[in-house]
Amino acid sequence: MIRSRLWFGPLLVAALTTALVFLTVPVLAIFLETTPAQIVRKLGEEQARDALWLSAQTTGAAMLLIVGLGTPAAYLLATRRFRGRAVVITLIELPLVLPPAVAGIALLAAVGPSGLLGRYVEDAGLQVALTTAGVVVALTFVAAPFYLRQAQAAFAAVDGTQVDAARTLGSSEAAAFARVVVPASLPGLAAGGALALGRALGEFGATLMFAGSLQGVTQTVPLAIYDDFATDFDAALALSAVLVVVSAALLLSVKFVRGADAVR
């Protein structure tokens, strides 16, 4: 017993230290290898500004789709029991474990020009592959499961009698959802939203395969970094630093919402 105590504590500390160094040093290196001047210069380039603006637009559009459709869908999954529910949940979660390259191929096979539904998409006058709309499709496909899972868990945690109480107080089912269920699950929804947003912002593989990397059309920040990487490593570093700052801000905002919830 005494011997195990002697080595077990230090082992835990050593493991944590290794993990911490391994996970933080590369991120720190980005900032140590670049300078504020380089970042400013990079942000002055049209290619970088295009990429940032395109990332903001496409991620925003994908998030609107994900939250708008995902919220009611997750509520249905959380509150109703129906045949095939487990299968539906598994199918929705499947994109979580798909390699991004496979996701890109899958989207091409489905809605690409010669894909399964490509003809119908074209007949409808739409063009998704190699367009900005295609980027939104790719981001939505890979990021939506993160939000759906969290939202479903958040809704399932809301006490059913809260809805019953709202009903007896004059709210229809839809009004009870809007006035009671959503406010009560807001921290969980925000956490799911931030996860999906982070995933969408960093999306690379599926976008590259499905939409390509055309500056101002489909070249989001991760694709621009990859583009720079071949020719100008310092430029890639500067753009990476910007993406790290945005992602860290996202993570902190989720912690803040969760923290406020813990007090509640």
Q: Any contact of residue 171 with other proteins (CB under 8 A)? A: yes
Of 127, 162, 256, 260, the one binding other proteins (CB under 8 A) is 162
Closest distance between other proteins and the C-beta of residue 189, in Å? 13
Q: Which secondary structure element, helix H or strand E, spans residue 131, and what is its range? A: none
Nearer to other proteins, 90 or 161 (CB): 161
* Separation between Cα atoms, residue 107 and residue 110, nearest integer Å: 5
- How many other C-beta atoms can be found within 10 angstroms of the C-beta atom of residue 192? 27
Closest distance between other proteins and the C-beta of residue 64, in Å? 24
- Considering only 53-61, 87-95, 112-120, 182-190, which stretch makes contact with other proteins by CB under 8 A? 182-190
- Considering only 62-70, 91-99, 125-133, 158-166, which stretch makes contact with other proteins by CB under 8 A? 158-166
* Separation between Cα atoms, residue 262 and residue 255, nearest integer Å: 10
User: For 100-122, b where at least 16 C-beta lie within 10 A, e where not — what string?
Assistant: beebbbbbbebbbeebeebeebe
Measured in whole angstroms, how far is the alpha carbon of residue 211 from the centre of its chain?
Answer: 18
Of 168, 230, 231, 249, the one binding other proteins (CB under 8 A) is 168
Of 65, 186, 214, 217, the one binding other proteins (CB under 8 A) is 186
- Considering only 25-33, 82-90, 179-187, 205-213, which stretch makes contact with other proteins by CB under 8 A? 179-187
Q: Any contact of residue 68 with other proteins (CB under 8 A)? A: no
- Considering only 42-50, 105-113, 178-186, 189-197, which stretch makes contact with other proteins by CB under 8 A? 178-186
Closest distance between other proteins and the C-beta of residue 81, in Å? 16
How far CA 127 is from CA of 11, 52, 63, 120, 257, in Å, comes to 56, 23, 21, 10, 39
Nearer to other proteins, 27 or 257 (CB): 257
Of 54, 107, 154, 184, the one binding other proteins (CB under 8 A) is 184
Number of shown-chain residues binding other proteins (CB under 8 A): 19
3-state DSSP assignment of residue 253: helix
Question: What are phi and psi for residue 184, nearest 5 degrees?
Answer: -70, -30
156: Cβ–Cβ under 8 A, 6 or more apart, which residues?
A: 78, 79
Of 9, 21, 36, 159, the one binding other proteins (CB under 8 A) is 159
- How many other C-beta atoms can be found within 10 angstroms of the C-beta atom of residue 80? 8
Of 23, 170, 230, 231, the one binding other proteins (CB under 8 A) is 170
- Any idea how long the chain is? 264
- Considering only 88-96, 167-175, 219-227, 235-243, which stretch makes contact with other proteins by CB under 8 A? 167-175
Q: Any contact of residue 157 with other proteins (CB under 8 A)? A: no
133: Cβ–Cβ under 8 A, 6 or more apart, which residues?
A: 126, 127
Q: Any contact of residue 179 with other proteins (CB under 8 A)? A: yes
Q: In the Cβ-directed half-sphere of 237, how many Cα atoms lie within 13 Å?
A: 17
Which residues form the interface with other proteins (CB under 8 A)? Answer: 159, 161-162, 164-172, 175, 179-180, 183-184, 186, 264
